Structure formats: C-alpha cells, structure tokens
Amino acid sequence: MRRLLGTAAAVAAFALAAAAGAAEPTAPAKDAVATFASGCFWCTEHDFEEVPGVTRVISGYTGGTVANPTYQQVGMGGTGHAEAVEVHYDPSKVTYRQLLDTFWHDTDPLDAKGQFCDKGDEYRSEIFYHDDEQKRLAETSKAAIEQSHRFGNQPIVTRIAPAGPFYPAEDYHQGYAKKNPVRYHFYRWNCGRDQRLTELWGADAVGSKVASSEAPKQQ
C-alpha cells in the first residue's frame, strides 16, 4: 500500500511539475522595425497602421543632422530631416517585402521636390534600411519599378539610405488621423494625395483604397 501511495504521489508530483512548466508563458516574438518617408507623416502613419501585422507606427524625423528637432525646425529646412514613420511589425504576419509594396503604392516616386501638395526636402520620398537584407530588398524593389518602365523614362527619385537616429514627433502629431478625423480627411483630400496616387498606381494605390473606405459619410 505504501508503495502504491508512493508511486501515486510521484505521478502526481510529475503531473504538477509538467502543468507548471506548460503554464509558463513563452516570450513574445520581437517586433522588427522599418522606416519610411513619404510626405506628410499623418498620412503615411495612418496607411501603415492599416496593414495586418503592423503593431505600431510612430511619426517622427530622421535622415538629418540636428538632434531632437522640432516640427518648426524641420519645416523651416536646414536640418536635413524628413518627416518619416517608424513601423514596428510582426515578421511572422507581414514581411518587409510586403511593407515595401505598401510604401511604393503610397508614394509618388517621381517627385524630387516633395510629395503631393507638400514641397521641400523634408517631404521627400525615402526608404531607410536597418540592415543589409532590408537594403537589398529596397534596392531590388526600386530596380523592379525602373525596369518595368511603368512611368516611361521618368527617373525614380525615391532615395535609399541607412537608418540613423529617429526622433519621434510631438505628441499632437501621433495618431493624428484618429484624433482629428475631419481635419485629417480635409487635409488629405485638398492635398491631392489620393488623386495623385490613383493617377500613378491605379487600383493598386494603397492610400486611395484606405481613404475611400474610411471617408466620413455625409449625414
């Protein structure tokens, strides 16, 4: 009887240990980061937030030489920074290649003076890569567009550069489309962003599809 009780106790102890081990939470997969500039970061942030697998998008400034710049400083020029977004994503749900596809269909790669109604170097189109693989994929994607001759002989002016320090923009810029939907849609429409994207990319224009699905309905 003691032997049976001892055996039962051992089995119970093993079962409890196994249950405790199974209950231990596994560490969540670490997000990867991608950085893009495509004109006004209000719009770029909003459009990347709609991509499944993207966990967070931060508006900010990067590509320049001034530390901790303000919106006013960047807007006045001379900092070298672009309005950009830092995209955090789950690589098991969305790939960097897919993010590049979103980027290209949400930018005007022919405009060397800015993007849409916003002109100035701070509104340039640019991909900031974080490692050699991102660099390779970015350069390959750009070459594919050039070789497709989709835009005839017009040069693709989107830049590709290594990612440097990224400075988050002021709080009132973060999630601007959600905080101020009426102002956001008014700005976006009047800037001609979606009209130009549709002209460039047709039905593949990412921004156009996102905006049309969320445009405020008239009462």
Please tell me the number of Cα atoms within 13 Å of 117 on its side-chain side: 10
pLDDT of residue 171: 98
CA distance 42 to 39: 9
Question: In Å, how far are 102, 108, 156, 173 from 63, measured between CA atoms?
Answer: 21, 19, 19, 19
pLDDT of residue 206: 85
CA distance 122 to 81: 6
CATH homologous superfamily of 32-211 equals Peptide methionine sulphoxide reductase MsrA (3.30.1060.10)
Instruction: Respond yes or no: is residue 40 known to be catalytic.
Output: yes
pTM score, whole prediction: 0.83
Q: Where are the domains of the chain?
A: 32-211
Q: One digit per residue, pLDDT tens: the chain, 219 residues?
A: 333 334 444 434 434 344 444 444 444 568 999 999 999 999 999 999 999 999 999 999 999 999 999 999 999 999 999 999 999 999 999 999 999 999 999 999 999 999 999 999 999 999 999 999 999 999 999 999 999 999 999 999 999 999 999 999 999 999 999 999 999 999 999 999 999 999 999 999 985 555 444 444 333
Is 109:157 a contact under the CB 8 Å cutoff? Answer: yes
Find the catalytic residue in 40, 43, 117, 191. 40
